[in-house]
Structure 1
Amino acid sequence: MRITIFFAAIASLLAPIATAGADPAPSERVRRLLAEMTLEEKIGQLDMPSHGGHYDPARVAAGRTGGVLNFGSPQEIAAIRALNAQSRLKIPLIFGLDVIHGYRTLFPMPLAEAASFDPAVAEQSTHWAAVESRAAGLNLTFSPVADLARDPRWGRIVEGGGEDPMLAGLFAAARVRGFHSGGIGATLKHFAGYGAVEGGRDYAPADISEGTLRDRYLPPYRMAVEAGVDVVMTSYISLNGTPTTASRRLMSDILRGEWGFPGYVVSDMNAIPEIALLGVADGNGEAAKLALEAGVDQDMDGEVYIAELAGLVRDGTLPEAALDRAVARVLATKERLGLFDEKPFDPAAASAVLGRADIRAASRALAAETFVLLQNKDDVLPIRPETRSIAVVGALAASQADTLGNNAARAVPAETVTVLDGLRARAPAGTRIDFVEGCDTACTSDSNFQAAAAKAAEADLIVAVLGEPQDHSGEGASRASLELPGRQTDLLRRLAATGRPVVVVLLAGRPLALSEAVDPAAAILLVWYPGSEGGHAVAETLFGDRDPAGRLPVTFPRHVGQVPITYDALPTARPGKVEDRYTSRYLDVALGPLFPFGHGLGYTRFTQSDARIAARKLGPDDRLTVAVTVANAGTRPGREVVQLYVRDVVASRARPVRELKAFGKLLLEPGEAREVVLSVPVRSLGFHRDDGSYVVEPGRFDVYLGSSAAAPLIGSVVVSPGYEAPPAGLSAERFEAGHMTVIGKSP
Structure 2
Amino acid sequence: MKRTLLALLTAALAAHAGALTSQAAAEAQARAILPRLTLDDKIGQVSMAHVFRFTEGGRSAPIRADADATFRALQPGTLLNGGGDAPQPNTPRGWADFLARLDALGRANNPQGLPAVFGTDAVHGVNNVPAATLYPHNLGLGAAFDPALTREVALATAQDLRALNMGWTFAPVADVGRDPRWGRYYETFGESPWLVADQVEASVDGLQSGGVAATLKHFAGYGLPSLGMDRANAEISARAMHEVVLPPFRAGIRAGALSVMANSGSVNGVPVHASRTLLTDVLRGELGFGGLLVSDWNDIERLITTYRTHTDLVRAAAASVNAGIDVYMVPNSVEAYQNALREAVQTGLVSEARLDEATLRVLTFKARLGLLDAPLAGSGVLNDHRDLARRAAAATLTLLENPAGTLPIRKGRVLVTGPAMDSAAIQLGGWSVNWQGVGKGNVPDVPKVATLAPALKAAAPAGVTVSALPETKRPQLLTAAKGVDVIVVAVGEAPGAESQANNPALSLPDGQITLLRDLLATGKPVVAVLMAGRPLLLPSDIQSRLAGLVMAYLPGTQGGAALADALYGRAGFPGRLPFTWPDSLTQVGLWSDRPAEGAGETPLPLYPLGYGLDYTTSVARDLTVTPAPDGVTAQATLTNTGEQAGTVTVLLRAGLPASGALQAVSRPVGVLRATLKPGESRAVQITVPHERLSSWVGDAYGPGTWQLLPGQYTLSAGDGKATLSLP
Structure 2 length-normalised TM: 0.86
Among residues 386, 391, 396, which one is paired with 1:365 in the alignment?
Answer: 391
Counterpart among 485, 501, 516 of residue 460 in structure 1? 485
Measured in 1, the distance between the counterparts of 2:374 and 2:613 equals: 48
Which residue of structure 2 lines up, in the alignment, with residue 289 of structure 1?
318
Which residue does 1:413 correspond to in 2?
A: 446
Once the 2 structures are TM-superposed, how far is the Cα of residue 622 of structure 1 from its aligned partner?
A: 7.5
1:474/1:599 CA distance change after superposition, 3 Å: farther
Moved more, 483-492 or 176-185: 483-492
CA contact (8 A) 2:419 2:492 kept: no
Q: CA deviation at 1:74?
A: 2.5
Preserved CA contact (<8 Å) 1:557 1:565: yes
Which residue does 1:434 correspond to in 2? Answer: 467
Candidates 229, 242, 254, aligned match of 1:214:
242
Query: Following TM superposition, by how much is the alpha carbon of 1:504 offset from its aligned partner in structure 2, in angstroms?
Result: 1.1
Pair 1:324-2:353 in alignment: no
Structure 2 residue corresponding to 1:314, chosen from 327, 340, 346: 346
- TM-score normalised by structure 1 residue count: 0.84
1:97 is matched with 120
**In the alignment, structure 1 residue 245 sits paired with structure 2 residue 273:** yes
Q: In the aligned structure 1, how far is the partner of 2:141 from the partner of 2:712?
A: 35
Give a deviation string over 1:256-307, Cα, whole Å, max 9, x none. Answer: 1222222111100001111223132111110000111111011102635313
Q: CA deviation at 1:682?
A: 4.8
Moved more, 161-170 or 565-574: 565-574
Contact kept, 8 Å, 1:210 with 1:689, in 2: the verdict is: no
Alignment match, 2:370:
338
1:606-685 paired onto structure 2 within 5 Å: 606-609=618-621, 611-614=622-625, 623-682=631-690, 684-685=692-693
Residues 285 and 668 from structure 1, CA distance in 2 versus in 1: closer, same or farther, beyond 3 angstroms? same
Aligned counterpart, 1:86: 108
Residue 499 of structure 1, aligned match among 523, 528, 539: 523
Match in the other structure for 2:505: 481
Q: CA deviation at 1:183?
A: 2.4
Give the letter for the 2:76 counterpart. T
Question: C-alpha distance in 2, partners of 1:345/1:677?
Answer: 44
In structure 2, the residue corresponding to 1:115 is in which secondary structure? helix
Q: Residue 321 of structure 1 aligns to which amino acid in structure 2?
A: A
Task: Give me the whole-angstrom Cα distance separating, in 1, the residues matched to 2:633 and 2:345.
Answer: 58
The aligned residue for residue 711 of structure 2 is: 699
Aligned residue in 2 for 1:725? none
Does the aligned pair in 1 maintain the 2:41–2:75 contact within 8 Å? Answer: yes
CA distance in 2, matches of 1:120, 1:79: 36
Residues 145-202 of structure 1 deviation map (CA, whole Å, 9 limit, x = unaligned): 0011211011101111111001111111111111112221111110000001101111
Residue 119 of structure 1, CA deviation: 0.8
Question: Structure 1 pair 83/614, CA: closer, same or farther in 2 (3 Å)?
Answer: closer
1:232 maps to 2:260: yes
Amino acid at match of 1:101: H
Q: 1:32 and 1:628, CA in 2 relative to 1: closer, same or farther beyond 3 A?
A: closer
Trace 1:523-562 onto structure 2 (pairs within 5 A). 523-562=548-587
Question: Structure 2: how far apart are the matches of 1:543 and 1:235?
Answer: 43
Contact 1:148 1:195 in 2 (8 A): yes
* Residue matched to 1:4: none
User: Given the superposition, is the C-alpha separation of residues 660 and 261 from structure 1 closer, same or farther in structure 2, using an over 3 Å criterion?
Assistant: same
In structure 1, C-alpha distance between the alignment counterparts of 2:690 and 2:313, rounded to whole Å = 49
1:594 to 606, 611, 617: 606
Letter in 2 for 1:85: R
Deviations 1:106-163 (A, max 9, x none): 0000111011000111111111111111111111000010011211011101111111
- 1:474 Cα deviation (Å)? 4.4
Is the contact made by 1:97 and 1:409 (CA closer than 8 Å) also made in structure 2?
A: no
**Which letter does structure 1 place at the counterpart of 2:325?**
V
Equivalent position SS for 2:421: helix
- Cα distance change, pair 268–682 in 1 and its aligned pair in 2 (3 A): closer
| 1:106 matches 2:139 | no
Any conservation in 2 of the 1:61–1:85 contact (CA below 8 Å)?
A: no
Q: Which runs of 5+ in 2 are unaligned?
A: 1-22, 59-66, 87-94, 127-131, 439-444
Q: Secondary structure at the match of 1:693?
A: strand
Partner SS, residue 543 of structure 2: coil
State yes or no: 1:522 paired with 2:547: yes
* Amino acid of the structure 1 residue aligned with 2:80: L
CA apart distance, 1:63: 6.6
The answer to whether 1:574 aligns with 2:581 is no
Q: Deviations over 1:650-693 (max 9, x none)?
A: 33111011101221210110111122334434553221134231
Change beyond 3 A, Cα 1:705–1:268: same
Q: Does 1:37 align with 2:37?
A: yes
The structure 2 residue matched to 1:64, chosen from 45, 58, 75, is: 75
> What is the rounded CA distance, in whole Å, between the counterparts of 2:656 and 2:211 in structure 1?
43
Which one scores higher on RCO, CA 8 angstroms, separation ≥ 6? 1
Map Cα deviations across residues 471-502 of structure 1 (whole Å, 9 max, x no partner): 2x545311111122223223212212222211
Q: 1:85 to 1:630 in 2, by over 3 A?
A: closer
- Kept in 2, the 8 Å contact 1:553–1:598? The answer is yes
Provide closer, same or farther for how the CA distance between residues 462 and 247 of structure 1 changes in structure 2, counting only shifts above 3 A. same
After superposition, the CA RMSD in angstroms is: 2.3
Q: Specify the code of the residue in structure 2 equivalent to 1:364.
A: R
Alpha-carbon distance between aligned partners in 2 of 1:622 and 1:102, rounded to the nearest angstrom: 36
C-alpha separation between the residues in 1 aligned to 2:495 and 2:691?
A: 42
Distance 1:268 1:566 in 2: 28
Moved more, 324-333 or 621-630: 621-630
Are the equivalent residues in 1 in contact too, given 2:394–2:562 (CA < 8 A)? yes
User: Secondary structure at 1:539's aligned position in 2?
Assistant: helix
For residue 84 of structure 1, what is the amino acid of its counterpart? G
Structure 1 residues 228 and 490: alpha-carbon distance in aligned structure 2, compared to 1, 3 A threshold? same
**Any idea what SS the aligned residue of 1:635 has?**
coil
Is the contact made by 1:63 and 1:90 (CA closer than 8 Å) also made in structure 2?
no
Q: Residues 680, 317 of structure 1: CA spacing in aligned structure 2 closer, same or farther, 3 A cutoff?
A: closer
Distance in 1 separating the partners of 2:42 and 2:567? 57
Equivalenced residues, count: 659
SS of corresponding position for 1:76: helix
Q: Is the contact made by 2:650 and 2:672 (CA closer than 8 Å) also made in structure 1? A: yes
Q: More deviation in 428-437 or 489-498?
A: 428-437
1:374-393 residue pairs with structure 2 within 5 A?
374-384=400-410, 386-387=411-412, 389-393=413-417
Query: Equivalents in 1 of 2:289, 2:49: separation in Å?
Result: 24
1:418 partner letter: T
Q: Which residue identity lines up with residue 489 of structure 1 in the other structure?
A: I
CA gap of 1:402–1:702, structure 2 versus 1, over 3 A, is same
Q: Which runs of 5+ in 1 are unaligned?
A: 1-22, 440-447, 577-583, 585-590, 707-711, 723-747
Change over 3 Å in CA distance of 1:682–1:80 after alignment to 2:
closer
* Matches of 2:539 and 2:658, distance apart in 1: 35
User: How much does 1:333 deviate?
Assistant: 1.0
* Counterpart in the other structure of 2:537: 513
User: Would the alpha carbon gap of residues 172 and 623 (structure 1) be closer, same or farther in structure 2, given more than 3 Å must change?
Assistant: closer
Paired position in structure 1 for 2:724:
717
User: SS state of the match for residue 40, structure 1?
Assistant: helix
Does 2:423 correspond to 1:394?
Answer: no
Residue 732 of structure 1 is matched in structure 2 by none
C-alpha distance in 1 between matches for 2:598 and 2:523: 46
Q: 1:709 maps to what in 2? A: none
State which drifts further: 74-83 or 45-54: 45-54
State the 1:51 CA deviation. 3.9
1:74 aligns with 2:99: no
CA distance in 2 between partners of 1:79 and 1:683 (Å): 48
Distance 1:57 1:451, change over 3 A: farther
Indicate conservation of the 8 Å contact 2:635/2:683, yes or no.
yes
**Contact 1:515/1:559 (CA < 8 Å) preserved in 2?**
no
Q: 1:599 to 1:515 in 2, by over 3 A?
A: farther
How do residues 186-225 of structure 1 correspond to structure 2 at under 5 angstroms? 186-225=214-253
Task: Please say if residues 492 and 520 of structure 1, whose CA atoms lie closer than 8 Å, have aligned partners that are also in contact.
Answer: no
Q: CA deviation at 1:215?
A: 0.8
